Amino acid sequence: MNEILRAEEVHKAYHIGKRAVEVLHGVSLSVQRGETLSVMGASGSGKSTLLHVLGGLDKPDAGDIFFEQTSLVSMKPSKRAAFRANRCGFIFQSYHLLPELDVLQNVVLPSMAGVGRKDAKERARHLLDRVGLSGRMDHRPMELSGGEQQRVALARALMNEPDLILADEPTGNLDSHTGGNVLHNLFDLAQSEQLTVIMVTHNEEVARLCQRELILKDGKLEE
């Protein structure tokens, strides 16, 4: 394996009125290509903030993030947007599917912001078949269960064939059985598509499914 992502002494604080709350306090991290990594921590420990910084959704106050040796912090906003569209897929706890679109359209959507591909619908159908939803493509999100919606979100995250998946409590809204099915789909696809996965969770059983586990405590990562 070789390094795909590196964080160097990352700091991030939020300002509430006149008070600054430092969430990340010198976080450093090296992630190898193809690795599955979990980050555990209590609510409010900064897990989601860390993912947002690693994925270029937010910029750190200090420190840097390198993807394949290229600094995300130094990138122009347009380049960072292209990175998020084409190289990094996000999975959120709340699915974030568009209710006015059907399942197939939701999965195809990232291709419009990414590199663009003539086979977008074919790729989307393939991914939906892989997550067991080939019979639900013309349904709207509100017609699906929570587990089905999260599997749609997983397929959508893989639409542009990213190298990196960032998953923020992907089973947080699901019961253990349904969440287990979603995780099975995630790790199965990660292996077949040679993905690197960083997943934040408060669930120790979920964390153990990854090859490596870290804990975010007092703004720093611990083994």
pLDDT digits (tens, 9 = 90+) for 73-97: 999 999 999 999 999 999 998 899 9
Q: What is the spatial distance between Cα 64 and Cα 85, in angstroms, rounded to a whole number?
A: 20
CA distances from 209 to 33, 92, 94, 157, 213 (A): 17, 18, 21, 20, 9
Between 122 and 223, where is the model more confident?
122
Structure tokens at 88: 């990094």
* Cα→Cα distances 79→56, 72, 84, 165, Å: 10, 9, 9, 18
Average pLDDT over residues 158-187: 92
Which domains, from first to last, does the chain contain?
31-59+76-222 (3.40.50.300)
**Mean pLDDT of the region 203-209:** 91
**Does pLDDT of 36 surpass 80?**
yes
Stretch 176-193: mean pLDDT, rounded? 91
- Would you say how long the chain is, in residues? 223
Task: Identify the CA nearest to 157 among candidates 118, 119, 185.
Answer: 185
Cβ(38)–Cβ(210) below 8 Å: yes
Q: What is the pLDDT of residues 143-164, one digit of tens each?
A: 999 999 999 999 999 999 999 9
| pLDDT confidence band for 114 (50 / 70 / 90) | low
Residue 117 has pLDDT above 80, yes or no: no
pLDDT at 18: 83
Interatomic CA distance for residues 59 and 223, integer angstroms: 24
Buried b (16+ CB within 10 A) or exposed e, 23-49: bbeebebebeebbbbbbbbeeebbbbb
**Of residues 172, 23, 18, 37, the one with CA closest to residue 10:** 23
Q: What is the pLDDT of residue 9?
A: 95
Q: What is the rounded distance in angstroms from the CA atom of residue 60 to the CA atom of residue 58?
A: 7
